[in-house]
Amino acid sequence: MAPPARRRGRPAVVDRDRIAAAALQVGPGPLTLTAVAARLGVHHTTLYGHVRDRDDLVAAAADLLAREARWPATGAGWRELLTAWGETFWELAARRPGAAGLIRALPAPPAAVVAQVGRIRAELERQGFTPADALVALDMVADLALDTAAALDGLDRGAQDRAWRDEPGMRGLVAAPRGAYPAKLEIVLDGLAARLTR
């Protein structure tokens, strides 16, 4: 068998995943095609073969994050499964500063997230959730994790501490690494448990 013909020309310097990784390194604030191109050492027009515009650049970055995520395995009880679902979104947000805000700004979720929703939704239904309740539960936990992470990204903890100086309980919540997320999640899960028994 003859060896495959060699392609002429220079090998590709970038591809969509390398562009997405560079976008995550640049961060959401200064994220432009020009900034990503500079990070990669190419002219910004080189990127147009892989991404259409800034929105597509953000979508590629979010999709890369989602594909690299550790998604929960099925088999656990619904409460543990939803807790692990939220944990996945925390890990996505923690990987890169500003990632939570970047994901929240997307017009649609990354394909990798959509695939996981179908898998986890089916498991929740198997454990007694209606299809609608399973989807709402997944959406609510993901929103709770990402919204809290995005809020904490921009939080001035010193100003918060001063604002709540006469309210020690709130000062404790603000000082916690994940803010009030664990307590909020517990309330959401308790509400779902009550709903399942109706």
CA angle, corner 76, sides to 73 and 82, nearest 5? 75
Contact 59, 103 (CB under 8 A): no
Query: 45: which 2 tokens?
Result: 């027009």
C-alpha 51/C-alpha 190 separation (Å) is 43
Q: For residues 93 and 54, is the Cβ–Cβ distance under 8 A?
A: no
Select from 185, 186, 156, 160 the least CA-distant residue to 173.
160
> Do residues 142 and 114 make contact, with C-beta atoms less than 8 angstroms apart?
no
Q: What is the pLDDT of residues 55-74, one digit of tens each?
A: 899 889 889 988 889 999 99
pLDDT tens per residue, range 6-27: 555 455 678 999 999 898 888 7
Q: Which helix (H) or strand (E) holds 17?
A: helix 16-26
pLDDT digits (tens, 9 = 90+) for 99-153: 888 888 788 888 889 999 999 999 999 999 999 999 999 999 999 999 999 888 8
How do the residues of the chain divide into helix, strand and coil, expressed in percent and rounded to 5? Answer: 65, 0, 35
Percent of the chain topping pLDDT 70: 94
Euclidean distance between CA atoms 156 and 63, whole angstroms? 29
Determine the Cα–Cα distance for residues 44 and 114; give it in Å rounded to an integer.
30
Q: Are 169 and 180 in contact (CB under 8 A)?
A: no
- Read off the pLDDT band of 162 (50, 70, 90): confident
